[in-house]
Amino acid sequence: MARRSLALLVALGIVVLSASAAPAGTGSQSTAARYNCGGKKMLFYFWPQGHQAVPSIKFTPYTTPHMEAYSQSGAFYAFADANGQMSFAKTCTQVGNLPSRWASAKRKTITTTMEVLCTFPVAGELNAAKVGPGGVMSVTLGHSTKQVLVGNLRATGSAITFDTRFCHTAPAPAQAQPTKYAFTGLKATFSLNGFAVTYTVSGEVCGDPTLTPWTVAVSFNGATPNPQTAVLQSGTAANVAAIVSKDSAGNELTRATIQLTFNPGPPAQMTLGVLPSNGLVTNVQVSGSPATVTATPVPSC
């Protein structure tokens, strides 16, 4: 069936297109930077597996391993992640970089999600860099070579080491239990310049359904589904596939775009739509729409 459909597409000059979208990264990237943010009492959130939403501190999900530095009164200082992304607060002052080494043998290393709270005798200076396949954030005592904290951030195996004379751990704020969302049963049929077209669509996402990219399975005329990714913002139609008919010279004659619209509800629903470019797309019929979106709590995404 798939081979016959492909032959018909070639003969009619029809091209199947797909659309995908993904969220932008967080922070800015650099090779190395050292900043003085003026803080003696500092708080580090260490997320070696990333995190889901953290309601108590209003963090949205960010599943890349990373860490953040704050003042203990709540002012943001710096961010670094396992992709080498980093950022610093505008209130921090960039200073000259210096090599650093551990100031003491009294150190502890942790590899689990945790808060690290530190009180330094002078303002700590923060250094962040992209190193190999990951990122690193370190802290020195003032503008010196005396290193007192280092976070090594990797896709797997992240760790943070700190000087126990100045720092101790505490439990990290509780994360919201992640939820898996899914829908199925959406179908669209139409005629594209005389060629019969059928699309079936299903999809799923784990995490915030309006921020996390959905995995959408799009099947064309019974072929094996072609997975796409798309961010489905609440109430906004998103393109997940398109089919184009062209003449023998390669000029576009008509196009039909397959769209999904997510409504978080309650109840949560997914609507399927077909957007034609002109009157050569005819006999449009959609079934199963809107589809119910199921929500299932899961241990992790």
Q: Give the residue from 86, 92, 105 showing the smallest Cα distance to 151.
A: 86
> Residue 94's CB: how many other CB atoms inside 10 A?
10
pLDDT for 74-98, tens place per residue? 999 999 999 999 999 999 999 998 8
pLDDT for 233-286, tens place per residue? 999 999 999 999 999 999 999 999 999 999 999 999 999 999 999 999 999 999
Q: 90: left (phi > 0), else alpha (psi -120 to 50), else beta?
A: alpha
pLDDT for 211-227, tens place per residue? 889 999 999 999 999 89
**Is it the case that residue 15 has pLDDT exceeding 50?**
no
**Residue 288: enclosing H or E segment and its boundaries?**
none
To the nearest 10°, report the CA torsion of 34, 46, 25, 155. Answer: 100
The mean per-residue pLDDT over the stretch 127-141 comes to 94
- What whole-number distance in Å separates Cα of residue 240 and Cα of residue 257? 8
Q: Which of 3-17, 21-35, 234-248 has the lowest mean pLDDT?
A: 3-17
The CA angle 112-117-119, to the nearest 5 degrees, is 150
**Is it the case that residue 60 has pLDDT exceeding 50?**
yes
Residue 221: per-residue pLDDT: 97
Beta bridge partners, 259, equal 239, 273
Residue 35: per-residue pLDDT: 96
| Cβ-proximal residues to 205 (8 Å cutoff; 6+ apart), any chain | 180, 181, 182, 212, 213, 214, 215
Q: Is residue 290 reached through a cis peptide bond, with omega within 30 degrees of 0 on the bond before it?
A: yes
| Cβ-proximal residues to 95 (8 Å cutoff; 6+ apart), any chain | 34, 35, 36, 125, 143
The mean per-residue pLDDT over the stretch 18-46 comes to 65
Residue 296: per-residue pLDDT: 95
The mean per-residue pLDDT over the stretch 6-31 comes to 36
Query: pLDDT confidence of 14, banded at 50, 70, 90?
Result: very low
Tokens of 164: 């126990």
| Cβ-proximal residues to 290 (8 Å cutoff; 6+ apart), any chain | 263, 269, 270, 271
Residue 84: per-residue pLDDT: 92
Residue 208: per-residue pLDDT: 85
